[in-house]
Amino acid sequence: MQRQVYLTGQVVVESEAKISIFDSAVMLGDTVTESTRTFGHRPFKLEQHIARLYKSLKVTRIDAGISEEEMLHVTLRLLETNLPTYREHEDCWIVHNISRGLSIAGADPTSQSGAATVMIFTQPMDLSSWAKFYTEGCHAVTPMSRIVPAQSLDARIKNRSRMSYTLAEMEAKLVDPQAQGIILDIHGNVAENKGGNIFIVSDGKLKTPTTKNCLAGLSRETVIQLAAELEIPCEETELQPYDLYTADELFFTSTPYCIMPATKFNGLPVGNGQVGSMTLRLLAAWSELVGVYIVDQAQ
């Protein structure tokens, strides 16, 4: 049985899903996106992901051609159709990519021919490349490149124009092939990872950058909510590399792995060089929230 894909009003098998080489997704990287995951085959915060998608659509002036409610409905229907292709303990991504449609070359790059291209698909959630970081921690490295300033492209618009993130990640991996990048902004403040947010623990307090220079991540939001339930003080503030060097704990948050500990920053140990107790408390609380032991599933 092949997985199905939703493509601008039609459901087709994955192997037959195609878009034009003249689509603005290809011509301009002119695409907004969302990635959601399931836990126990149940989507996690899908409504919030779709709500954020429609904020991105509004700011980028892309008309998806269907309402937010209909987008949720077709997404759930596609997931239901594809669930028989996943094993009992296997979860999946739910990905939305929406482009402006066919792009017309000429003086006005905003011109389009026809409707937006709406792409929705599910994909197996393979966490194997992150699995060891839950117990060993990863090496967080600051690349040379800086995050695109919010004055140029607001990080809260989740988009598929990923070249700057990819180049930054390549630079981080020049230091360590297994490194996970922490990108700074043009003022030297900590911004974000190629696909996630950053937290530190310092003197018993959780700290994370404000959304002035990074995505308002839903995994970030989940950690802040869990911290409140666990009565862990949390502060949204400016952070600089000094704060990460001197932190007791450091971790990333993102949809696939939820929380990824870092035990080294630019070659120096974070805290005692082990995965921290507060990071483990938050991971356990997240696992309890979703009814899936995240570390076991990844490993």
**Domain locations along the chain:** 4-124, 133-298
pLDDT digit of tens for each residue in the chain (299 aa)?
A: 899 999 999 999 999 999 999 999 999 999 999 999 999 999 999 999 999 999 999 999 999 999 999 999 999 999 999 999 999 889 999 999 999 999 887 778 777 778 999 999 999 999 999 999 999 999 999 999 999 998 999 989 999 998 999 999 999 999 999 999 999 999 999 999 998 999 999 999 999 999 999 999 999 999 999 999 999 999 999 999 999 999 999 999 999 999 999 999 999 999 999 999 999 999 999 999 999 999 999 88
Burial of 297 (0-12, 13-18, 19+ CB in 10 A): middle
CATH number of the 133-298 domain: 3.20.10.10
What pLDDT is recorded for position 298? 87
Pick the CATH number of 4-124 from 3.30.470.10, 3.20.20.140, 3.30.390.50, 3.30.710.10: 3.30.470.10
What pLDDT is recorded for position 232? 97
Q: 0.75 cut: is pTM over it?
A: yes
What pLDDT is recorded for position 99? 97
What pLDDT is recorded for position 104? 82
What pLDDT is recorded for position 220? 97
- Establish whether domains 4-124 and 133-298 are of one fold: no
Cα torsion 156, 175, 241, 136: sign: positive
